[in-house]
Chains A and B, each alone.
Chain A
Amino acid sequence: MIDELELLKKDWQKKEEHLPKLSYEEIHNMLWKKSSSIVKWILIISILEFTVPHLLYLIPSFQDNMEIYDKLGLHNYIIGLTIFTYGVAFYFILQFYRRYKEISVLDSSKNLMRKIIRTRTTVKHYIIYSLSMIMVIVVMMIIGVYFDDDIFSSFSQLQDKAKSISAEKIKISIMIGMAVMGVVLTAVMAGIYFLLYGLLLRKLKRNYNELKQLEV
């Protein structure tokens, strides 16, 4: 086998004349083409992940939701939570930026892969944190409903339809509805996210693990 590989080596070095040859102009034109590297995709996707949830607040129906928080007496908590959320988001973006800057194609393969995975992990943690925040808000709303003495005025659209049902029952159904919605929403978002994440990094992780296994 060694001999066969040596044979291949000799032949390989003779191969040069069969290789394509690009002209100066052809190479020059390539300099200005857009990169489609995985690192660029990670940057784009991560920026989307950091900004999209914040853009949601600009949609009118989301602003309506803020009224419900007021009625449930959660206004101050939500303001506090929002400040906290922006602080944390800022921290994650900074962390992401630092790690992103460390990625260099001049590193050894193993280091390059490690740094890409690390950068991506920052965003993964941000997503996990964001999803848990959704759950926290849902739990806060459920508690808000529980302590709300005048449930009909908080959910004005219920007033006409639900006169015949007792306030207690309405409260319980709203609480169950919110809990179910919260869990489903989080699960669906997490599912989509981790599917995307997995697909993007599948090849890279496989190669990285192969290099890492060697060190054991």
Chain B
Amino acid sequence: MNKKLEHQFVTELENNQNIVHKVCTLYTNDRDSHKDLFQEITIQLWKAYPKFRGESKFSTWMYRVALNTAITLYRKSKKRIQTQDYESVIFKIKADEYDPLEEQQLQLMYKAVKQLGDIEKALVFLYLEDKDYREIAETLGITEVNARVKMNRIKNKLRTILNP
């Protein structure tokens, strides 16, 4: 039974691992930390898995656990030097759609998002993942109105970062 549960879990996570990688990309600055955080999220997901009874989609459930781990449970390991090549791998633009102006703009946007606080990043992340305000609010434990207010503030903040 346990083996079956294990197999089921790993398969689901393997299929949905992009969600975790994206969270790691937002909250860490180098490959080692990325792997570290991925591992911690995996452990937390696995520990909570027996409580997941398929009431919601596996992926929906993952967002919450992954974000909670990144914002609250994860203790940043020793400070490491930010490596440039890591950034470029993650923020790479597809070659066939290469548009220098657009790429430059996107790079700046990503850099600005990385400068936000933990909570702000969580909001932006859920927004980028096309979640509605109800789900964003529920995940973070705030009201829908406040989620909208906060998102508007973040947009203003990003604007300030981009046009100092």
Interface residues of A, Cβ cutoff 8 Å to B: 1-2, 4-5, 7-9, 11-24, 27-28, 30-31, 33-39, 41, 104-113, 116, 203-204, 206-207, 210-211, 214-215
Contact = CB atoms under 8 A, between A and B. Distances in A.
A27 B13 contact: yes
Contacts of B68: 105, 107, 109, 112
A211 B42 contact: no
Interface string B39-53: 110111011100100
19 contacts: A5-B109, A5-B158, A7-B105, A8-B106, A9-B130, A11-B93, A18-B89, A18-B90, A21-B17, A35-B44, A38-B74, A106-B48, A107-B141, A109-B71, A116-B72, A203-B76, A204-B72, A211-B119, A215-B142
Q: List the 7 shortest-distance A-B pairs measured between CB atoms, nearest first.
A: A110-B141, A108-B141, A37-B73, A19-B21, A214-B146, A30-B42, A12-B128
A208 to B, nearest CB: 9
**Which residue, of A22, A24, A27, A34, has the highest number of chain B Cβ atoms within 10 A?**
A27
Contact of B43 (A35, A38, A204): A35
Given A9-B127, A211-B119, A28 B10 contact: yes
Given A28-B6, A38-B72, A116-B72, A109 B40 contact: no
Interface of B: 6, 9-11, 13-14, 17-18, 21-22, 25, 34, 38-40, 42-44, 46-48, 51, 61, 64-65, 67-69, 71-77, 89-90, 92-94, 102, 105-106, 109-110, 113, 117-119, 122, 127-130, 138-143, 146, 149-150, 155-156, 158-159, 162
Given A1-B155, A211-B141, A104 B44 contact: no
Contacts of A28: 6, 10
Contacts, number: 160
B158 A1 contact: yes
B73 A24 contact: no
Mostly, the A contact residues are helix
Nearest to B49: A31
Contacts of A111: 141
B80 to A, nearest CB: 16
Given A105-B68, A110-B140, 18 more contacts: A1-B155, A1-B156, A4-B162, A5-B127, A7-B102, A7-B109, A8-B106, A13-B130, A14-B94, A18-B89, A19-B22, A27-B17, A31-B42, A31-B46, A34-B43, A36-B77, A112-B141, A215-B146
